[in-house]
């Protein structure tokens, strides 16, 4: 990757959060290989590959401030922000402790807000900038059993992004949402399971048991994280970018199916896809 210097003024400068693996890592490489002076950011620098990285914990105000100051001291600008850092908390909503839910929001939603607010004054001064928020295909999907915490953060990110778009357009700042489908990364391996959800006596254990093999089956057709990186590159280099970019054939097909169905028809279809269409009688007998 190009080293920061006075030549940075001839490059667009990009900051990517959550770059230690998966979508963030591939996006960092994709942008660097296409002429962007790219800063990979992550909490743990020990995870870094041989590319320039900056320590940044999206849940820590001081860490975010220091990272942005470090980049701007070298480049005096940030042209692109890709908010990618996040994780999934899995478990039925009733089984999720409030502390677990708060931690999920602290990273997935407030982390996006924290980094974006740190970068916006500079972008307004520049009168230009692009903010890419990595959302999820779970938004057009409408959710899934065990995903209430994670899915709700992604719906919140979409609402935040849509509202910011109105506010920032007059300053020359563009806001983009990327909605990946199922991606073959370590994301699912790193899913945090709510403590109470691990209890086999949970009234929701049967539903969670049904979901596990279904996710394994879905992962067999997962797209590569490089596909998402290419979508991010296309979005930020489009002359007049739209708001939403889909990343993955699965989510494209799902969104198309949703257009031709009522909410109830779509819900019934998704319930069947999750193998939950015959579970009510089993749960009723158990409880």
Q: Is there a domain that residue 14 lies in?
A: yes
Question: Is the model's pLDDT at 215 over the cut of 80?
Answer: no
Q: Is residue 274 situated within a structural domain?
A: yes
Tell which residue, 62, 59, 65, 53, has the closest CA to residue 16. 53
Cα 159 from Cα 163, distance rounded (Å): 6
- Beta-carbon neighbour count of residue 256 at 10 Å? 11
How many folded domains does the chain comprise?
1
pLDDT of residue 221: 79
- The residue-averaged pLDDT of 114-142 equals 95
pLDDT at 229: 97
Choice among 25, 39, 87, 150 that is catalytic: 150
Known catalytic membership, residue 150: yes
Record the tokens describing residue 129, joined without a space: 């900038």
Segment (H or E) for 196: none
**44 is a domain residue:** yes
Tens-place pLDDT, residues 49-87: 446 789 999 999 999 999 999 999 999 999 999 999 999
CA angle at residue 64 from 60 to 67, to 5 degrees?
140
Note whether residue 1 is domain-resident: no
| Residue 62, CA distances (Å) to 41, 59, 117, 126 in order | 14, 9, 13, 23
Asked if residue 169 belongs to a domain, the reply is yes
194 domain-assigned: yes
Q: What is the CATH number of the domain that holds 123?
A: 3.40.50.720
**Of all residues in the chain, what percent carry a pLDDT higher than 70?**
88
Contact 39, 17 (CB under 8 A): no
Could you tell me the residue range of the domain that residue 12 belongs to?
6-286
Angstrom CA distances, 10 to 7, 35, 132, 240, 280, stand at 5, 10, 21, 22, 61
Tokens coding 67: 């990272």
Reported as a pLDDT band with limits 50, 70 and 90, residue 285 is very low
Overall average pLDDT of the 142-161 stretch: 95
Asked if the structure places residue 147 within a domain, the reply is: yes
């Amino acid at each position: 990757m190009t080293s920061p210097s006075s030549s940075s003024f001839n490059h667009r400068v990009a900051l990517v959060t959550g770059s230690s693996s998966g979508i963030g890592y591939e996006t960092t490489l994709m942008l660097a290989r296409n002429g962007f002076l790219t800063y990979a950011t992550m909490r743990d620098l020990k995870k870094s590959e041989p590319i320039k990285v900056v320590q940044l914990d999206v849940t820590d105000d001081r860490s975010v401030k220091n990272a942005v100051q470090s980049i701007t001291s070298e480049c005096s600008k940030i042209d692109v922000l890709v908010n990618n850092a996040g994780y999934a908390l899995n478990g039925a909503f009733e089984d999720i402790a409030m502390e677990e839910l708060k931690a999920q929001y602290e990273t997935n939603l407030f982390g996006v807000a924290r980094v974006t607010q740190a970068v916006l004054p500079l972008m307004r001064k520049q009168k230009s900038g692009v903010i890419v928020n990595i959302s999820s295909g779970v938004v057009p999907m409408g959710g899934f059993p065990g995903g209430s915490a994670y899915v709700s953060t992604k719906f919140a990110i979409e609402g935040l992004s849509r509202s910011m778009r109105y506010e920032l357009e007059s300053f020359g700042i563009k806001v983009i949402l990327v909605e990946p489908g199922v991606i073959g990364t370590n994301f699912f391996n790193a899913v945090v399971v709510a403590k109470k959800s691990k209890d086999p006596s949970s009234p929701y254990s049967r539903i969670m048991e049904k979901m596990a093999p279904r996710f394994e089956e879905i992962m067999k057709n997962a797209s590569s994280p490089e596909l998402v990186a290419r979508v991010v590159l296309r979005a930020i280099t489009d002359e007049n970018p739209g708001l939403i970019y889909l990343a993955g054939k699965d989510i494209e097909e799902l969104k198309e199916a949703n257009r031709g169905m009522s909410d109830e028809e779509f819900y019934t279809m998704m319930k069947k896809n999750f193998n939950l269409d015959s579970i009510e009688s089993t749960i009723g007998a158990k409880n």
